[in-house]
Amino acid sequence: MADHPKPKSRSTEDIENQMLVDKAECKISVNVVDFYHNNHMVVIQTQEIDKTGKAIYSRFKLHLSSLELHAPVLANFLTQALDNVEGTEENPVILPFTTPEFTCFLDWIHDREWRPFKITEESLVDLLRVSSTLKAEVGISYAVSGLESLRLPSARMLQLVGDFHHLPEVHYWVGPAVKDLIQRPLGEITNSEAQQIAAAYPTIARTRENIQRLLTQVSQRSFALKLADKDQQEEADLCLTHKECQKAWKSVWKENIGYLLLDFQKPLTYRELLELLRNTDFPKVNPSCKARMLNWLSRKTDYPGMKELVEEAVASIEDIYHVPRRGPAPENPKV
C-alpha cells in the first residue's frame, strides 16, 4: 500500500466542527445514555419557629447521589418524589426536621478533613434524631458511639434513652446510668437532673433507701465470724479459742467498721470494705481465722442482696422507658 500521508493532528474545535457538519448531513446519529439519571437535584424544605412564633423556612438543594450512601431510605423516597414532580423549586419536599437538625445531618454527610463535622452533644443528638427517623444506620451508629464517648452525666443519658427508646442501640445505657444514680446521695441530684430523669426519680429514691436499709442490716450483723460452708466450719473447729475470735471480731467491727457503712454521703462499697478489713488490726482474732474469713468474703462481689436490688431498679426503669428487658450484650460493642 502506498504510504499514507501522516494524519494531520486535529484540534478539538476541528472535531466538533466536523461533527456538526456530519450531523447536519445526517451522517451520524447520537444516542444519549444518561448515566446520571440518579444524579438529580432535589429541593428539600425544613422549617423552624423563631422566638416570636414565626415559621422560617429553609430550602436545601442537594444531589441525590450525596444521600445514597448515608441515607438510602431518604434517597429512595426522594427518587420517587422526583418521579412525581416533587422536590423542585416550585414544589419542594417537606421533611419533618427543624432546619438546625437537618443542617447538622448534612454537615455529617459532608464531613471532610477540611470541614469536619463538629462533635458536640447537641450535634450528635440532632444527628441521632434525623438518622433514626430516616433509618440511616450509619448515622445512628456514629451518633450513638459519639454520645457514649462524651461521657455525659447519667441523668442525661437516661433522658436520651427516654427520647430514643425505639433504638436498641441506646438500651445498654440504662444499666450503667441507673447504677451510677443510685449510688449518689439524692441531695446531690440537681433540679435539672431530677427533671431529666423525672419518670425514674421515684424508683431511684426508693432503691437508694433500700440500699441504706440493707447496709444498716450488714453493719449490725457484722458478718459475724462464723463461716458459711461446712468445710470452713470444720476448719474453724480447729481453732481452740474460736469463741474469743468471734467476740473480738465483733468488737473491732463495732468500733471501726460498722459506722462506715452508714455514712449517708458515701457508704463503703463492698470492695472498700474488703480493703479496710484487710488493713484493720484484729488483735485477739486468730490470724488464720481472719484469713479464712477474708477469703470467704472475697469470693463474693457485693453485699448480700445488693445485686438483686440494683437489678430490680434497672428492670423497673427499663419498663418505665419502654425498653425491652435486657438481652445479651451486643457482640461488638461500639465503644
CB of 145 to Zn ion, least distance (A): 54
Q: Are 59 and 44 in contact (CB under 8 A)?
A: yes
Is there binding between residue 286 and Zn ion (CB under 5 A)?
yes
| Between 127 and 289, CB nearer to Zn ion | 289
CB of 260 to Zn ion, least distance (A): 24
Cβ within 8 Å of residue 52, ≥6 positions away = none
What b/e string do you get for 301-328 counting C-beta neighbours within 10 Å, with b at 16 or more? eebeebeebbeebbbebbebbebeeeee
| Between 192 and 288, CB nearer to Zn ion | 288
How many binding residues for Zn ion (CB under 5 A)? 5
Member of 134, 214, 245, 313 binding Zn ion (CB under 5 A) = 245
Q: Are 249 and 285 in contact (CB under 8 A)?
A: yes
Q: Specify the stretch interacting with Zn ion by CB under 5 A; choose among 106-114, 210-218, 259-267, 286-294.
A: 286-294
- Give the per-residue SS3 of 200-244: HHHHHHHHHHHHHHHHHHHHHHCCCCCCCCHHHHHHHHCCCCHHH
| Between 206 and 250, CB nearer to Zn ion | 250
| Between 203 and 286, CB nearer to Zn ion | 286
Binding mask 18-57 for Zn ion (x = CB under 5 A): ----------------------------------------
Q: Specify the stretch interacting with Zn ion by CB under 5 A; choose among 244-252, 259-267, 297-305, 324-332.
A: 244-252
CB of 297 to Zn ion, least distance (A): 15
Q: Specify the stretch interacting with Zn ion by CB under 5 A; choose among 143-151, 189-197, 202-210, 242-250.
A: 242-250
Residue with cell 434517597: 75
Q: Hey, which residues between 131 and 190 contact Zn ion (CB under 5 A)? A: none
Is there binding between residue 219 and Zn ion (CB under 5 A)?
no
Member of 239, 260, 274, 297 binding Zn ion (CB under 5 A) = 239
| Between 71 and 236, CB nearer to Zn ion | 236
Q: Specify the stretch interacting with Zn ion by CB under 5 A; choose among 74-82, 171-179, 235-243, 294-302.
A: 235-243
| Between 7 and 283, CB nearer to Zn ion | 283
| Between 152 and 239, CB nearer to Zn ion | 239
CB of 246 to Zn ion, least distance (A): 7
| Between 150 and 291, CB nearer to Zn ion | 291
Is there binding between residue 289 and Zn ion (CB under 5 A)?
yes
CB of 289 to Zn ion, least distance (A): 3
| Between 105 and 253, CB nearer to Zn ion | 253
CB of 222 to Zn ion, least distance (A): 15
Q: What does the binding site for Zn ion look like in residue numbers (CB under 5 A)?
A: 239, 242, 245, 286, 289
